[in-house]
Amino acid sequence: MEQVEADGLRKTYGETVAVDGVSFSVDAGEVFALVGPNGAGKTTLVRCLTGTARPADGEARLLGTSPEQTDEARVSLLPQEFTPPERLTPDELIGYYASLYPDDETRDTDALVDEMGLSDAVDTRYGDLSGGQKSRLKVAVSLVNDPDVIFLDEPTTGIDPEGREDVWRVVERLADEGTAVFLTTHYMREVERLADRVALIDDGKLVEVGKTDDVIRKHAGEPRLVVRTVGSAEEAIEGFDATVEGDELVFEGVGVDGIGDALDALDGAGVGYDEVRWREPGLEEAYLHLTGEV
Ligand SMILES: Nc1ncnc2c1ncn2[C@@H]1O[C@H](COP(=O)(O)OP(=O)(O)OP(=O)(O)O)[C@@H](O)[C@H]1O
């Protein structure tokens, strides 16, 4: 079932068109990622969908109704700018947010604290937590009401890799349990790991929406084998379908199966090399192509 829908959504601030005719939908159990450059319109789009940037033109629907009429207890929003009071501890903060909802509609808060890796810090004041602990606590707070739809606006910014992994596991579990997750992020690895579908917004418009794998296949370009030659790359290139970049030979379009043959051919031609790199392009490359940055 479609939990979030945008149909021709448009939001202006004076002369600025922050969101410009955006349409898409997010299903239950789906992780939908929104990516785009700074100022592209991501936060504004989240605000239109959650009813905090109104009025907007076009239509936004949340759990089948307008954002203003949606049952708030079934929705959660973790905004970028959420800053809890410095003096509250995780225990107090989570307890406070849990108290805003009926008991049977909240998660087990001890389990939540544990899952977010905060058990050792439950009594530490927010102001004394590390940056990563603060971010994980904010995600934990956004989960207390066990929402059917959750909007996470850059939830892992400033978190170390281990803490990010904790957040990712929670997001995966949420989606497995049927929650619709709307995620904005600047980390393409996060999207590759979590998102069923990705939308790229640039200058207020959706430039691409699709399954993450399809978007990568369509826009990321070819894999590259890069070989650093011992002698001159200019001389070594003779007879090879490659290009020279500095002291390296670059073979475009060589898949993982082709690496052995390419190196055998170099060996056969007596070309020495001391470093070989191969990379399958991912969402990062697709993003850069789509935003015209390469
Ligand atoms: N309340 C507002 N008043 C005026 N202009 C705004 C307002 N909110 C957003 N904008 C403008 O709308 C555009 C989109 O901003 P938005 O914050 O949605 O981008 P974003 O993609 O979330 O950026 P970032 O990745 O930096 O968080 C920007 O030009 C911004 O300056």
Tens digit of each residue's pLDDT (9 = 90 or more) over 66-114: 999 999 899 999 998 889 999 999 999 999 999 998 877 888 889 889 9
Q: How far is the CA of 204 from the centre of ligand 1 (A)?
A: 9
Q: How far is the CA of 19 from the centre of ligand 1 (A)?
A: 9
Q: How far is the CA of 142 from the centre of ligand 1 (A)?
A: 22
- Of 101, 111, 112, 109, which Cα lies nearest the Cα of 75? 101
Residue with CA nearest ligand 1 atom 3: 13
- Of 203, 216, 158, which Cα lies nearest the Cα of 33? 216
Per-residue pLDDT at 278: 95
Distances (CA, A) of 135 to 68, 209, 216: 27, 28, 29
Q: How far is the CA of 121 from the centre of ligand 1 (A)?
A: 34
Mean pLDDT of 176-200: 96
Mean pLDDT of 23-51: 95
Per-residue pLDDT at 274: 94
Task: Evaluate if residue 1 carries a pLDDT over 80.
Answer: no
Ligand 1, from 9, 11, 16: best to mutate by most atoms within 8 Å of Cβ?
16
Alpha-carbon distance of 5 to 183, in angstroms, equals: 14
CB atoms within 10 A of CB 226: 18
Per-residue pLDDT at 43: 93
Q: Give the tens place of pLDDT for each residue, 199-254.
A: 999 999 999 999 999 999 999 989 999 999 998 999 889 888 999 999 999 999 99
- Give the dihedral sign, CA 261/265/270/276: negative
Task: Evaluate if residue 294 carries a pLDDT over 70.
Answer: no
Q: How far is the CA of 170 from the centre of ligand 1 (A)?
A: 28
Alpha-carbon distance of 91 to 107, in angstroms, equals: 14
- Pocket around ligand 1 at a 6 A CB cut-off: 13, 16, 18, 36, 38-44
Mean pLDDT of 130-143: 90
Residue with CA nearest ligand 1 atom 16: 41
Binned at pLDDT 50, 70 and 90, residue 189 comes out as very high
What are the E-state strand segments in 29-148? 31-35, 57-62, 75-78
Residue with CA nearest ligand 1 atom 2: 13
ipTM: 0.97
- What is the distance, to the nearest Å, from the Cα of residue 188 to the centroid of all Cα atoms in its chain? 6
Alpha-carbon distance of 98 to 216, in angstroms, equals: 40
Residue with CA nearest ligand 1 atom 27: 38
Residue with CA nearest ligand 1 atom 31: 39
Mean pLDDT of 282-290: 93
Binned at pLDDT 50, 70 and 90, residue 58 comes out as very high
Mean pLDDT of the chain, nearest integer: 92
Per-residue pLDDT at 42: 95
Ligand 1, from 9, 13, 81, 187: best to mutate by most atoms within 8 Å of Cβ?
13
Q: How far is the CA of 43 from the centre of ligand 1 (A)?
A: 7
Alpha-carbon distance of 33 to 84, in angstroms, equals: 25
